[in-house]
Amino acid sequence: MSLVKLTIKGISYSQTQNGAYALILNEVDGDRKLPIVIGAFEAQSIAIALEKEIKPPRPLTHDLFKSFSDRFDIVIKQVIIHKLVDGVFYSSIICERDKIEEIIDARTSDAIALALRFHAPIFTYKNILDKAGIYLNANPTENEGRDMDEDGVLSNPETFGMEEEQKEEGYKKFSLSELHELLESAVQDEDYEKAAKIRDEISKR
């Protein structure tokens, strides 16, 4: 299976649902987005790593892991999102010490937080992107006026809302055709968090 390289577009969050965040990964050589729902702590850790200039007064857990690894000459070479089951992404951290390579299982949010700190590339398999990737209509003016770094990563996370009634009732009551219509609408509105939840419901069926 071929690997597809991903970059981080940003983090979206809901103003109506506490603790709900979506990490938006972008296909390097394509237009697909891969939204991954993550926790508040991991979202904060990833956002701080993206900002680069923000230094927490004390090391976060992922910063501590980086310091520990540096001290013992452990290098993270890459992160691979290798499996998707019932809307849950599974990842592996490929690390190296003394030219010996090891593969460590990790939550995707933790793996990406560490990849940022080690400047390691992030990959997924093509079949996972085919299954869970979301197409977004290209808009050349979409990023005008936004701060972008040299890798095309948004330095300022994007903000999206979520309808209260759908948050409460979920998407189980919708038919598959209705879910696909909702997914298309969410993508057009760039509401990645909502799109990720709808996509996961479709995958479960």
pLDDT of residue 182: 85
Amino acid at 184: E
Amino acid at 180: H
Q: Are 109 and 46 in contact (CB under 8 A)?
A: yes
pTM, whole model, 2 decimals?
Answer: 0.69
pLDDT digits (tens, 9 = 90+) for 179-193: 888 888 877 776 766
Cα-based distances in Å from 139 to 6, 143, 188: 19, 8, 11
pLDDT digits (tens, 9 = 90+) for 141-169: 444 443 433 333 333 333 333 333 344 35
Q: What helix, strand, coil percent values describe the chain, rounded to 5?
A: 35, 30, 35
pLDDT digits (tens, 9 = 90+) for 69-94: 999 999 999 999 999 998 899 999 99
Average pLDDT, stretch 101-122? 96
